[in-house]
Each structure stands twice: as structure tokens, then as C-alpha cells.
Structure 1
Amino acid sequence: MFKIVLFFVLYFSFSIAKHEHYDGYVVYQITVTDKQQAERVYTLENELLLDVWLYAAPTIPGLVLVPGPMRERFQSEVAAIGDTNKPVIMLQSLLHAREWVTLPVTLYAIEKLVIDITDKNLVDNIDWIILPIANPDGYEFSHEHLRFWRKNRSTGHTITNLCVGVDLNRNFGYNFGLWSSDIACSEAYHGKGPFSEPESQAVRSIVLEHSNRLELYFDVHSHGSIILYGYGDGILPPNGLTIHLVAVRIAQAIDAVKWPSKPNYSVGNIALTFANVSGTAMDYVQGIGVPLSYIHEMPAHRNENNSLTGTLVDPDYIEQAGYETWEGIKVGARWVLENSRRNKH
């Protein structure tokens, strides 16, 4: 089968040589299974004026740089020979800027899916969408200025711009504004309206584009050693039992390989476990019909209960964070392969 994977998007500008700007360009990884598919890529190179970084062969994935204006046409051209029946799994981290320990989870997943492939069926039979830094401006600010910054960096919420930023995990369009804050200086400020922020809009666009195939959604956060599911008002989705059972299996897989010093994972509805919440990405994704949608709370730094210092990162734990969480994600992925909505048609 012919396969393309969005490798990364160059949303920032940089110069390789004079007058060469790559703002909005997209890099795709391409996998082909035979000579005919490889030749099709060569044809598209000339038709669409693509920049092929690495030519694809049946044994070697290729890399293609696609200009932003040509992205839609490129995707439509390859769709005619692509496989649109595979389920999609989406992983996302750093919606909250200060939760640095979540980044190793998505980066480790990329490594296991692209470089160090040990579970080939998860690569061949699933399309993966991985968003490592969902809040790039906030994440940079937490590095350069305030380590415990949580929100994004949008302005215009007060007349004086004294208070900056929106809690992106309160900005999604499900029960918006019910259990969050309309005070711009609050850490839980939900913004001017649902999807008022470019970051939540970007996530929504990705989710909607793949909603008919999206089977499992992980929004990775820190901290608490818990896997949470919706809804934030305490009402369970119709498939609530399945959601809970899959989460238990994921938690058990992580517990089997975690550090002994870390607590076992627990599982539960977010409202019944913590408190009512609204406007979360998890609830929005669940609400549009995706079967499995979770907030995955990573273990706290040195098992601390403090909401701030618990998000710190022990350097020795970085690789382990990716490894143990991937063991859980694989369990969810295998469940998807066996129980995908596509399998029921």
C-alpha cells in the first residue's frame, strides 16, 4: 500500500540561503511497496515542483518537502492510491506549557514508529498523528521566562493586556465555560469563547479531518499517575464501560514496567475523580464520536503532591517516561486494531 505520513510542518521561517524562506512548508514521509508507486512519486515531483529529500523505495521510506499551497493537491493526488481504511490514533502533549515531562512520551512514540520499529503491525496497520508541542508559544515562555507558565501567550483579554494567556484545555467547545474561569488572570481562564485560540483551532482541524477514522486520542498531561476519561460533567459516554476497561489495560501495562518508586496508575471519570471540568480537548474529541479519548496524567516529580513542583522533570526519568507510557499506548493501539469501527462494517 502507498502511505504518506506528515513528518513535520515548518510553521516558522528560516533561511537556508538568501531569499529562500520555507514558511508553511510541510515534510512528508512516504512509504511505497512496489516500483509503480515509487514511479508515481517521481511523477508528482515534476508535476507539483516538489523537493524530494530522499527518494522512496520498497525498502526505504522517502522524504518530500511540499510547499504550503501545494499541500492539499499533493494529499489528494496520493489519496487515489493510498489506504484510507486504517484506523487513526492521535497523541498530543504540552497543551499546558509547564508540563515538560509529557514531551518524552510523544518523542519516544515517534522514535518507535519511525526509527526503532519493534512493533511493525502498529506501523503498517495504523495511521498515527503525533503533536509533540500543542502550545509552542507557552512552552517557549516556560523555558525563557517563567518555568511554571501554564497557558498560551495570547493577548487582548484585558484593556491593559496585564493578564496574558488562555488555559487551552478549557478552550474547547464542549460544555464551554461551565467549570472554568472568565477572569483573564486566572490559570483556568477559558478565553473569549470556544476555540478562540489558534492552538485549539489547530487541534480541532486535525481531529475533524480524521474523525471518521480516529479511534484513540491521548492528551498527555502532568501529573497524577492516572488515566482520565469523560465527560467532565460526570455523565459517562454510551461506551463508558469499554472506555474504562481499555484504560485499565493501559494502566496495567504501564504498572508492569514502571519504576517501583512510582505509584500504580489509577483510572476514572475526570469529574468523579477530581472535579467537574469543561472545555477540555478530551471531552470535545469524545463528543464528536471518537470511541476512546483520554487525558493521561504522568507521574509527579518525586511523587510530590504540589501542583507546581510536581510538573518538574527528574532527568533520570525522561527516557523511562517515554518507555513506560509507550507500553501502555501499545495496548490501546492493539485494542484499536481488534475493535476498530472499520472492522464492524
Structure 2
Amino acid sequence: MGSIIFIVFGLVVLRVIATPFPKKVSYAGAQIWRTALRTPNDILLIKKLFENQDISIWNLSPKRADFLVLEDNKVKIHRQLSSRGLNHTVLILDVQRRVDALKTEPVLWDDNTLRQGHRLTWNRYPTLRIIEEYFNYVADTYPSICKLEKIGSSSENRSITMVGVSNGNPNNMGILVLSGLHAREWIGITSALYILNNIVTKFDQQPEYIKNKNWYFIPLLNPDGYEYSQTVNRLWRKNRRKFKRCYGVDINRNFGKDWAIDGITENHECKDAYAGPFAFSEPESAALRDVVTKAKGKLDALIDIHSYGQLILYPWSARPWHNPDMKVQKNAAEAMTQAIFDSTKNLYKSGETYHMVYPATGSALDWIYASGVTHAFAIETRDTGEHGFLISPHYIEPTGKELFIAVKQLAKVLGPKFVSRGKDYQAWF
């Protein structure tokens, strides 16, 4: 709110100029389409439509594409698909109706939330404030095993928080659970919070292979984008850095491994997958870089949670060949998918990112793996396209349970650290 005072003929006239709030983005009439891809030329067509901003890709693999089509583009896109002999099915008939069903009204404090000390719940998506309250709650309630660390500030100066959980054993292996690089992937953020909550609040009940790890949770690396996705544009993906023409960098294209490979890197600031002006140009990616660099030799596994597709992925993301640890990663990923299936009968697939989805440069997954973390995985959570990014809060808890099963299986695969790190070793936090 700003004010300007005008003096007219000796009288003081107050003129109040209201600061405009961003208008909410409407997806009225927009739909989500799926088309099967048969040849490389089909993939090139989808890529061309995306580059021209005629569509927004939701999910892409060598065999099919899910994408958003705005009302005004339906006829044009249908014609271009038909010219190649491509049919499509409609996954979501009205995107805006789905968005409206996911309103995130603040949970009010009541006797129950006051008693438990926080307002986080598994039946609705949390606001940024509720997530921050929850971080403070676990740190205050479980100080013997839990500690908060501000690892950086976002483009709009919001805090980026890491929650450390440990029994204090200096020989523990370290597991980083990461999420929220992409703002619109709310189910990934709640899944990370669900895992954190189960480990912290039931620590004494956990098996030894959970308790003998140092856990590092960064459930929301992109707080600006998340806030914007809840208040202005539900399908916003990037951070909120301001450029001359547009806003935002895709944080998961901004890391230093295979950044800016010609032909598969987006260099235009207005595009959803814009990689940024240089590697680690963004405060969010730089904060994670500094955390991993500080943890050199103390970090043994990564789970980077995204949505959607029900996939467990491992490097490389931008290279078509195997990484040196592919067999180890393959075995661990298959163990995780099997553990999920045995418990829930829900099917997750696993494989190398480049071959399972699409080439992606500058990913956190590849950079963290290249930094020395052998067991590096990205998990794409529920679902397989029926809801996509607009998955109902009804699935928050079942999805969280599945991811916790996968993470527990990975911790079990890692086992204890039998080789001492040395008497001078201190826990990361």
C-alpha cells in the first residue's frame, strides 16, 4: 500500500494508490491430452509444439506425451497431430475445474491443532506458512534428534530450510531427501514431509537401519515458486527470479553437470524449462550445491522426489550411456519398486532417466551423483496421468506411504557403515 499527498488550494487531499496483486491465472477450457509416439518424427513434433509454446508438456517418454492444450489452441494442435496420423485421448477435460477443487485455504488453529502443536495434515495441501510452522514444531519437540538449518535464501528472500535427523552416531551413513524443485509438484513435497514426520515422530520404533542413518530433509527447495503456484498460477514450475521479459529458472536444469548441452537445453527465459544464464546462477540451486559440497564424504544416498509417472530413476539424465554404478543403482531401484508393489500392489517402474523419460541437462540428480553419491535416485510419484500434477489431496497419505516404503528399502540396502570415519569426524550438523 502506498500513498501520495496532494495539497490543493490549501486543503490536504489524501490519494491512496493500492498495490495491485497478481491476477490469478485461469485455465478455463484447457485440457490435458495424451498421444502415443511411434517415430522420432513424432517426438520432434511434440518438441516443436513445446518450443513454440503451443503446448506445455506434463509428461514425456519415448512412447507417449501428456501435454496441456489451452482453449484457443485446441483446433490448431488437433490439426497438427492429425497431419502426422496421431490420435489423442483427453486425460483431463477441464483443467480449471481440477484447479478449483484443489484450493488451499489456510487451516485454522483449533483445539486439536493447538494440542498437537502444528497444522500440517495429510488431507489437504499445506501452505508455505504451515510447512514452516511444522519445521519449527519438530525442532522444538524432538531436539535430541532433530535440528533445523537455514541453508540459503530464495530469489524473493524466503528461507530455504534443511531438517537434520540423527541419533548422533558419527559412523552413520547419510541420506538426503529432497523435493520441491518444481513448484507445481505438490504431492512430492507432501511425500517428503510424510517421510520426515514418520522418522522423527516414531524414531524409537524405527528399525535399526533407519536409526543408524543421518537424515537430511529439504522438502521445499523452491519456496517462491510453491507460494506462487498456490496463490497465482497453479501450474507454475520454475523459481521466481525476475528477468527482462519473464520470470523464473527451472532449478532442476541449473546444476553444473551437463549444463547447457546444445539441442536439449532451453536457453529462452520465458520457457518452462529455462536453464538459467549459467550453472548455479540461482540461489536455490547454489544453496543445495553448498550443502552437498559441505557434506563431501558424509552423504551416501539421494532421493529427489518429483511428480508424476510412478518411476524410480537414476543417472544419467543427459547422456545415453550407462554410468559406472548403473548395476548397483539398478539393483537398489528394483528393490524399491518391489517393496512398494509387495506392500501396496501399486506398480512403479525403474531405469535410467535418459531412456525412461526424456533428456534433461543440468539436473540435481546427475550433479549429486557426479559429486560422489553413488545411490542417487529421482522418484516420480503418483499417478500415471489420470490426475497428473492436479492429484487430489485424497492421495497425499497413500503416496507418502509408498515413498516411505521406498526410502526404508534404500536405507536397508545401504546397511550400516562398518568402516569408521575416524575419531575426529563430526556429524554434518
Q: Do they fold alike, i.e. is TM over 0.5?
A: yes
1:132 matched residue in structure 2: 219
Among 233, 256, 260, which residue is 1:146 paired with?
A: 233
CA distance in 1, matches of 2:162, 2:186: 25
Match of 1:246 among 293, 311, 332: 332
Q: Which residue of 1 aligns with 2:147?
A: 7
Q: How big is each residue's C-alpha offset from its partner over 1:187-206, in whole Å with a ceiling of 9 and x where there is no partner?
A: 11000100000100111111
Distance in 1 between residues matched to 2:420 and 2:391, nearest whole Å: 39
Write out per-residue CA displacement over residues 218-239 of structure 1, whole angstroms, 9 at most, x where no aligned residue: 1100001001111121222211
1:203 paired to 2:203: no
Q: What amino acid does structure 2 have at the position aligned with 1:187?
A: D
Match of 2:356 among 265, 273, 278: 273
Contact 1:6–1:26 under 8 Å retained in 2 = no
Q: Is the 1:5–1:28 Cα contact (8 Å) retained in structure 2?
A: no
- Partner Cα distance (1:25, 1:241) in 2: 34
Deviation at 1:4, TM superposition (A): 6.6
Q: Which residue of 2 aligns with 1:121?
A: 208
Which one of the candidate residues 173, 178, 182 is aligned to 1:96? 182
Greater Rg by CA: 2
Q: 1:32, CA displacement in angstroms?
A: 8.1
Instruction: Say if 2:395 is the partner of 1:317.
Output: yes
- Residue of structure 1 in register with 2:68 after alignment: none
**What is the one-letter code of the residue matched to 1:333?**
A
Q: Secondary structure at the match of 2:397?
A: helix
Q: How many residues align?
A: 271
Matches for 1:1-345 after TM superposition, within 5 Å: 7-9=147-149, 83-117=169-203, 118-156=205-243, 161-178=244-261, 179-232=264-317, 233-258=319-344, 264-300=347-383, 310-338=388-416
> What letter matches 1:146 in structure 2?
N
How far apart, CA to CA, are the structure 2 residues paired with 1:167 and 1:6?
A: 30
Q: TM-score, normalised on structure 1? A: 0.71
Deviation at 1:274, TM superposition (A): 2.0
Q: 1:273 to 1:342 in 2, by over 3 A?
A: farther
Q: Per-residue deviation at 1:144?
A: 0.6
**Compared with structure 1, are the counterparts of its residues 169 and 4 closer, same or farther at alpha carbon in structure 2 (3 Å cutoff)?**
farther
Taking structure 1 as reference, are residues 28 and 287 closer, same or farther at Cα in structure 2, changes over 3 Å only?
Answer: closer
Give the whole-Å Cα distance in 2 for the aligned partners of 1:145 and 1:308.
Answer: 24
Provide Cα deviations, 1:47-87, integer angstroms capped at 9, x if missing partner: xxxxxxxxxxxxxxxxxxxxxxxxxxxxxxxxxxxx43211
What is the rounded CA distance, in whole Å, between the counterparts of 1:32 and 1:257 in structure 2? 28
Indicate the residue corresponding to 1:77 in structure 2: none
2:181, 2:221 within 8 Å by CA — same for their partners in 1? yes
**TM-aligned CA deviation for residue 109 of structure 1:** 1.4
Task: Supply the distance in 2 between the matched residues of 1:191 and 1:259 (Cα, whole angstroms).
Answer: 40
Identity of matched residues, %: 30
Alpha-carbon distance in structure 2 between the residues aligned to 1:315 and 1:279: 31
Change (3 A) 1:341 1:207: farther
For residue 338 of structure 1, report the CA deviation from its aligned partner. 4.9
Contact 2:166 2:215 (8 Å CA) reproduced? no
TM-score computed with the length of structure 2 as normaliser: 0.58
Structure 2 unmatched runs, 5+: 1-142, 422-429
Distance 1:138-1:26 versus aligned 2 partners, 3 A rule: closer
Label 1:29 to 1:317 Cα distance change in 2 as closer, same or farther (>3 A): closer
Report the Cα offset of residue 257 of structure 1: 2.5
Q: Contact 1:225–1:266 (CA<8 Å) still a contact in 2? A: yes
> Cα distance 1:339–1:239, how it changes in 2: closer, same or farther (>3 A)?
farther
- Compute the RMSD of aligned alpha carbons: 3.0
What corresponds to 1:53 in structure 2?
Answer: none
Q: Which amino acid aligns with 1:182?
A: N
